[in-house]
């Protein structure tokens, strides 16, 4: 017999005697070497086996000797970033427990992709709050890749190290963000997300919306702008209603005119349907003709209005045609 354990017949007490090789050390694990082999004392019980390229952070219950495992988390997100770089990783997933993380986060060029995620499904409700500004170094002509999930971002900014020459790709999923986003070219995907702050691209801007994120975007009305092209894609069915006024004078009875309406919600290749607000106004008819960026063109035919003048309220049902399915 190599080891012996004495257990009391009542209560929960137990005593052990060490017959293993090596000196017994508190906090270490007695590991079997197999049948007929003397067991040995194993590595310290600090956390669990690390998950591949995943580091844990907990601003409240952090470890005095952190390793990034779930049992020995770092105190700050920046510490996890630094450890990923020290490990020689090019990608890292950082899982942060519910808490406020006020430290600035500076991500160096060595990390090509960084995922920062709230710890567990309750993290968003309990509050995994990122209060420190995020700065991501990126190659000129290359892309930094940042993924944010299940977090509340109260930081002032998410940007690149040199906003004059660097680009960034950001995906937000189940996020509330008050951070202004800036870079040259920006690819931003919003999934069940409320981005309440402005997004400014010195070059091109491409934004993907799901239905919820588009609704929150319209309600919050942040400014999404680009010096170059601004393209939008819709992951699911997207519709808007816009109240407008059909204003035109001198339309003879029996004559049709086209009206160009400035509608910021409209993008290229959208479809519009038109409804007259005043149901009693039946001396003219209107319909949708075409859409360009920020403009809906409708037609109006005067059926019987003697004055030939129109200033009638209408509603546009905007159907976003360029949709993709995931």
DSSP-assigned letters across all residues of 82-123: HHHHHTT-SEEEEEE-SEEE-S-EEE-TT-SEEEEEESSTTH
- 240, pLDDT greater than 60: yes
What is the arithmetic mean of pLDDT over 289-315?
96
The Cα 311–Cα 297 span in angstroms is 16
Q: Are 146 and 168 in contact (CB under 8 A)?
A: yes
The Cα 318–Cα 266 span in angstroms is 7
Q: What is the pLDDT of residue 138?
A: 79
- 42, pLDDT greater than 70: no
Q: What is the pLDDT of residue 115?
A: 97
The Cα 195–Cα 259 span in angstroms is 33
Residue pointed to by tokens 């001198």? 250
The Cα 232–Cα 211 span in angstroms is 12
Q: Are strands 152-153 and 176-177 parallel, antiparallel or unpaired?
A: parallel
Interval 116-138: pLDDT, tens = 999 865 455 568 999 999 999 97
Q: What is the pLDDT of residue 46?
A: 45
Query: From 1.10.4160, 2.160.20, 2.40.128, 3.30.920, which CATH number describes the 54-234 domain?
Result: 2.160.20
Residue extents of the structural domains in the chain: 4-44, 54-234, 239-319
Q: Are 48 and 72 in contact (CB under 8 A)?
A: no
Q: Are 263 and 319 in contact (CB under 8 A)?
A: no
Write down the mean pLDDT value for the chain: 85
Q: What is the pLDDT of residue 52?
A: 77
Q: What is the pLDDT of residue 172?
A: 96
Banded model confidence at residue 163, pLDDT cuts 50, 70, 90: confident
Residue 142 has phi, psi (to 5 degrees) of -110, -175
């Amino acid at each position: 017999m190599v080891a012996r354990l004495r257990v009391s017949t009542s209560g929960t007490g137990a005593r052990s005697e060490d017959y293993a090789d090596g000196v017994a050390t508190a906090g270490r694990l007695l590991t079997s070497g197999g049948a007929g082999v003397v067991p040995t004392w194993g590595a310290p019980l600090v956390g669990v086996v690390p998950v591949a390229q995943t580091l844990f952070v907990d601003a409240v219950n952090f470890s005095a000797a952190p390793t990034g495992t779930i049992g020995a988390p770092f105190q700050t997100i920046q510490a996890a970033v630094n450890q990923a770089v020290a490990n020689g990783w090019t990608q890292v997933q950082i899982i942060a427990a519910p808490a406020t993380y006020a430290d600035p986060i500076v991500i160096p060029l060595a990390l090509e992709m960084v995922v920062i995620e709230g710890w567990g499904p309750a993290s968003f409700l309990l509050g995994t709050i990122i209060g420190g500004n995020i700065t991501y170094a990126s190659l000129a002509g290359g892309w930094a890749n940042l993924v944010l999930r299940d977090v509340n971002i109260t930081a002032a900014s998410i940007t690149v190290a040199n906003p004059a020459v660097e680009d960034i790709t950001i995906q937000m999923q189940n996020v509330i963000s008050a951070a202004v986003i800036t870079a040259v070219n920006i690819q931003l995907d919003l999934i069940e997300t409320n981005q309440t702050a402005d997004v400014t691209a010195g070059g091109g801007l491409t934004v993907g919306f799901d239905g919820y994120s588009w609704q929150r975007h319209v309600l919050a009305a942040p400014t999404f702008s680009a010096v170059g092209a601004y393209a939008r894609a819709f992951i699911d069915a997207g519709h808007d209603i816009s109240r407008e006024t059909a204003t035109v004078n001198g339309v003879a009875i029996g004559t049709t005119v086209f009206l160009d309406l400035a509608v910021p919600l409209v993008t290229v290749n959208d479809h519009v349907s038109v409804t007259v607000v005043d149901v009693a106004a039946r001396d003219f008819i209107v319909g949708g003709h075409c859409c360009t960026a920020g403009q809906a063109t409708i037609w109006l035919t005067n059926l019987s209005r003697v004055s030939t003048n129109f200033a009638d309220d209408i509603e546009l049902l905007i159907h976003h045609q360029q949709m993709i399915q995931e």
